[in-house]
Amino acid sequence: MYTRADLLERGAHSRLFTSGTLLRVLPGCYTRADAPASLHEIARVLQVRRMPGATISHESAAELLGLPLPMHLTRAGGALIHCRSGAGGRVRRGRLVHAHPSDPPLRYRVRGLLVSHPVVVLQELTARMTHNERVIALDALAGRGTAIPQMPLARIREVAADLQGRGAQRVRDAAGDARERVWSPMETRTRLLLVRAGYPEPTPNLEVRDPLTGSLVILDLAFPVLRVAIEYDGDQHRVDRAQWRRDRHKDEMLHRLGWVILRITADDLRVPDAFFLRLSAALER
């Protein structure tokens, strides 16, 4: 990160700032186009040098916390840097930074930066995220899918219950649908899809041990009493040879133990009718 004043003092020509060699990432602050500063570094400079005392918030905080986000809410997707500048300030929305004139009800510290609390972040973003996306973020927070230590679901619901104002109820609704031991967004999407379609709620990431070999496998979603399992297959399950072999060994073991294994893909989530027929048949058997 470089400031315009520092570069000019070192002898840089003013043409440098329009040459494409540098990118302006904050008012008066630049980074190399071929090696751009990270979001963490940009937020640190904003918080320490440009707006001392500000709290990083909204999508910037969410990304720093490692919450799963839709692309349009990420830095790579063009999102601005967001912060809360404190009570009594004014809204400042520029091409690079959006400053909100308030303090968050709760803060969290991540890698030396002061950010909005993860649950508060979802309230800040409630108008820009769907219910599923909020549940995905909370599943990750209660699981092991973020940049910070996982948070017990009871604590998430406690914080959500205390929220006030716009979006608070939506966050509480998402917290009610969130579960622990969920390790991928697609597991969340599949679980919510099944429940809304009227199926019993499956158990996420169920452990099954083979009594013959002692090996342990984990099922993405399962109906353990009926011994029906659902495995989400992303592209890596098709193109990664080692993953493909593990899947085949896993299926062989589970079939031997009397399980029915159904595999679901992104196409099935978009048009689930055929998968529902397969699932209904498996549950009935």
Whether 47 maps to a domain, the answer reads: no
Strand 97-100 to 81-84 pairing: parallel
Give all strands (DSSP E) within the chain, no chain letters.
2-3, 22-26, 29-32, 55-56, 81-84, 92-93, 97-100, 107-110, 113-116, 203-209, 216-223, 228-232, 260-264
pLDDT tens sequence across 190-219: 999 999 999 999 999 999 999 888 889 999
Instruction: Give the count of beta carbons closer than 10 Å to the beta carbon of residue 147.
Output: 12
**DSSP, res 126:** G
The confidence score (pLDDT) of residue 89 equals: 63
What pLDDT, on the 0 to 100 scale, is given for residue 95?
85
At 214-244, the pLDDT tens digits run 889 999 999 999 999 999 987 565 556 776 7
Beta carbons within 10 angstroms of residue 271's beta carbon? 8
Asked if residue 71 and residue 157 are part of one domain, the reply reads: yes
Last residue within a domain, chosen from 177, 197, 220: 177
Nearest to 237 by CA among 264, 272, 257: 264
Q: Residue 279 sits in which domain range?
A: 185-284
Q: Say yes or no: 77 and 194 in one domain.
A: no
Residue 43 forms part of a structural domain: no
- Give the CATH number of the domain where residue 215 resides: 3.40.960.10
Q: Are 120 and 65 in contact (CB under 8 A)?
A: no
In sequence order, which residues have a C-beta less than 8 Å from that of residue 190 and are 6 or more positions away?
A: 220, 221, 230, 232, 264, 269
Q: State the DSSP code for 73.
A: G
- The pLDDT tens digits of the residues spanning 7-21 come to 999 988 888 888 889
If asked whether residues 194 and 123 sit together in one domain, one would say no
Number of domains forming the structure of the chain: 3
Q: Do residues 141 and 195 both lie within one domain? A: no
Which residues, in sequence order, are bridge partners of residue 173? none
Q: How confident is the model at residue 87 (pLDDT cuts 50, 70, 90)?
A: low
Q: What pLDDT, on a 0 to 100 scale, did the predictor assign at position 98?
A: 93
